[in-house]
């Protein structure tokens, strides 16, 4: 009986760990060495300026690169949206401090509710401060679902 | 005597091939998969707009990355300056067609006359149309030599 109880508790812990895991997109360690996909500057007056004002760069890991080429993304594909301040001075726009590291992490099972993608944002240079958390459906997928035909991805790889 | 003549001709050919080689910076094949160093937008009104107007991205091969970290660059280090048109519309700046692929190629021996760096520009998407050629000293090194203390490199790696 004691053995059965121990087993039940162990199983419960495993299930709890797995449930917690399904909700979390990991920080994309080393993404700065991934392939640069494309960039864009969003300026004051743009409809998305409040959320995405600044200069952003998209980076793709190897599986995400395959996805850009194929038009659909395999599990394990990760796309990073690296958003920086973009101060304009003397007819030049440079890169300022990081605002957020946005992440799309492909796992068709764990993130089935949001098109097979987990969405997260890491504030500034933090690897732990989550800006999206449980709000992915409203904060991210609400817009991305308009791109269902492109596997929910807005960007295209610039050769 | 015939043998000596053959040897002389062979040597002459080798020397000629080497001399031609010293003048040419190779096209940086596969640079789009290298590490993205940083980016900047140069707008109308900027002093460098005629040459460098648009959005540019810097890419570094592994040896150049070591150089950014160390402050001096080993032979074989290559830095690419990828310049694209940057059309501005509806409060956003996007990436347009490629204007030029600028290259700094480190070889302290072959390019001793220009700080140990070979400079070249490949026009648009061409891998063969050279925009700098024999004018590297005037067209490139004249400005870069102001950064002798940084091994003639203007950019810094953005973490």
Mean pLDDT by 10 residues, chain A (159 residues): 58 48 85 98 97 98 98 98 98 98 98 97 98 95 96 98
Best to test chain B binding among A30, A31, A32 (most B CBs inside 10 Å): A32
CB A47 within 8 A of CB A23: no
Closest among A54, A48, A72 to A139, alpha carbons compared: A48
Return d(Cα A83, Cα A123) in angstroms, integer.
10
Contact flag A93-B91 (C-beta cutoff 8 Å): no
Strand, coil or helix: what is B107? coil
Nearest to B33 among A35, A40, A91 (CB): A35
Q: Which residues of B touch A158 (CB under 8 A)?
A: 95
Shortest distance between the Cα of B132 and any Cα of chain A, in A, equals: 23
Is-contact B101 B79, C-beta < 8 A? no
Helices (H), B98-145: 136, 142-144
Distance from CA of A27 to the nearest CA of B (A): 15
Write down the pLDDT at residue B6: 59
- The answer to whether the CB atoms of B32 and A33 lie below 8 A apart is no
- What is the pTM assigned to this prediction? 0.88
What whole-number distance in Å separates Cα of residue B73 and Cα of residue B155?
13
Measuring CA to CA, which residue among B113, B38, B121, B30 is closest to residue A55? Answer: B38
Contact A36 B42 (CB under 8 A): no
Q: Which of B32, B36, B55 to mutate to test the interface with A (most CBs of A within 10 A)?
A: B36
- Residue ranges of chain B whose pLDDT lies below 70: 1-23
Residue B14, pLDDT score = 47
The CA-based angle B139-B86-B91, given to 5 degrees, is 145
Among A8, A10, A6, A150, smallest CA distance to A79 is for A150
For residue B105, give how far its alpha carbon lies from the nearest alpha carbon of chain A (Å): 20
- Tell me which residue in B40, B57, B93 faces A40 most closely, judged by beta carbons: B93
The DSSP bridge partners found for residue A39 are: A57
The pLDDT of residue B127? 98
pLDDT at B16: 45
What does the pLDDT look like over A32-67, one tens digit per residue? 999 999 999 999 999 999 999 999 999 999 999 999
* Strand extents, DSSP E, A78-155: 78-84, 88-89, 92-93, 98-106, 117-123
Contact state of A91 with B42 under an 8 Å Cβ cutoff: yes
* ipTM, interface predicted TM-score of the complex: 0.87
User: How many residues in total does chain B contain?
Assistant: 159
Cα separation, A151 vs A114, whole angstroms: 11
Gap between the Cα atoms of A7 and A1, Å rounded: 10
To the nearest whole Å, the CA of B51 is away from the closest chain A CA by 14
Q: What is the pLDDT of residue A60?
A: 98
3-state secondary structure at position B11: helix
The verdict on a CB contact (< 8 Å) between A94 and B55 is: no
Interface contact B93-A46, CB threshold 8 A: no
Residues B14 and A30 sit within 8 Å (Cβ to Cβ): no
CA-to-CA dists, residue B65 to B39, B72, B80, B153, angstroms: 15, 10, 12, 12
């Amino acid at each position: 009986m004691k053995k059965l109880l121990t087993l039940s508790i162990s199983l419960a812990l495993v299930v709890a760990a797995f449930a917690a895991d399904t909700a979390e997109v990991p920080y994309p360690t080393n993404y700065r060495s991934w392939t640069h996909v494309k960039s864009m500057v969003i300026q004051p007056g743009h409809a998305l300026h409040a959320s995405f004002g600044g200069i952003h760069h998209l980076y793709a890991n190897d599986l995400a690169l395959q996805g850009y080429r194929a038009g659909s993304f395999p599990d394990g594909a990760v796309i990073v949206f690296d958003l920086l301040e973009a101060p304009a001075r003397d007819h030049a726009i440079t890169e300022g401090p990081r605002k957020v590291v946005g992440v799309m992490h492909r796992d068709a099972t764990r993130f089935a509710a949001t098109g097979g993608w987990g969405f997260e944002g890491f504030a500034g240079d933090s690897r732990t401060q989550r800006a999206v958390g449980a709000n992915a459906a409203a904060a991210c997928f609400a817009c991305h679902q308009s791109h269902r035909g492109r596997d929910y991805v807005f960007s295209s790889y610039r050769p």
